[in-house]
Amino acid sequence: MNPSGKILLIDGMSFLFRAFYASAWGGGYRQTTTGVYTNAVYGFTKMMLDYADLVKPTHLVVGWDVASRESLVRSQWYDGYKSNRQAPPDELIPQFDLVKEVTAAFSIPNLGCPGYEGDDILGTLSTTLSADGHQVVIATGDYDSLQLVSDLVSVKILKNGGKHEHYNPASLQSLRGIAPEQVVDVKALMGDASDCIPGCPGIGEKTATKLIVEHGDLERLYSNLDSCTVKMRSKLEEHREQVYLSKKLATIIRDVPIEFSLEEAAWEYDSAVVRSKFDELEFGRSLATRVG
């Protein structure tokens, strides 16, 4: 392997949903003349090219969720996991397959594994690739990915308006006051309503961060409950099992059984093939000019 590789890992669902809602808020959905919805695919492609221009990777991979909520590994651990998720809009559903046709036109691997989420795919790849000495940049909208930050792994968290927050170990400490290995422990205490991770009732992000910073990690916090207030100690003792379940749910899995060849992920593509796909989807000139 080339030790100087720079690999861009994209959270496919994060990009696609963000692209869909960014373009759909006004009620208008981009369509082809035959009525095929393309607003999310168009936005995804633009974002992907933007980040490729920014990062200048040698390789690019997109990780995907490929399972229903009920078949997720985490749903087997906790029946309520992501139970609040609504079905995607009808206009978005056909674009799940369409966007993979576009990435395939760029010769980009689309990786997923039944039972696992995109985070787990990116976690497995970033861990393996950085262990081989490669620099890895993860682009996602999910703050859970901050647990993957290391000297060789940085994370760009998508924000509105095409902006992002860039995290490496130093900026994570500066902006959020914690180290990468403390990200999951903070989440274990505060929970995550968006994923139905329960956490410890009555403990928010500020208190969770304070407790983990003071004690170092969850294990040492529970070994030193006597140092907490009576009220806090009571909360933590009562919900201990739930807190540790929350940690398990929030921990990105880094050994997903996926087949991957770095050579297949080289950021090189046939411009004619890409332009042909763009023409088929009636993307127009602005994107076509970006692919040569």
The one-letter amino acid code at 104 reads: A
Residue-wise pLDDT for 30-62, tens only, equals 999 999 999 999 999 999 999 999 999 999 999
Residue-wise pLDDT for 70-110, tens only, equals 778 999 999 999 998 888 999 999 999 999 999 999 999 99
Mean pLDDT of 121-148: 97
Pairing of strands 164-167, 153-158: antiparallel
Q: What is the mean pLDDT of the chain?
A: 94
Q: At what angle do helices 240-250 and 230-238 cross, to 10 degrees?
A: 70
Residue-wise pLDDT for 192-235, tens only, equals 999 999 999 999 999 999 999 999 999 999 999 999 999 999 99
Domains identified in the chain and CATH numbers: 6-175+252-291 (3.40.50.1010), 180-250 (1.10.150.20)
CB of 148 closer than 8 Å to CB of 166? no
Radius of gyration of the chain (CA): 20
User: How far, CA to CA in Å, does 85 sit from each of 68, 159, 170, 260?
Assistant: 11, 21, 34, 30
CB of 157 closer than 8 Å to CB of 143? yes
Compute the half-sphere exposure of residue 155: CA atoms within 13 Å on the CB side of its CA: 25
Res 4: pLDDT:
67
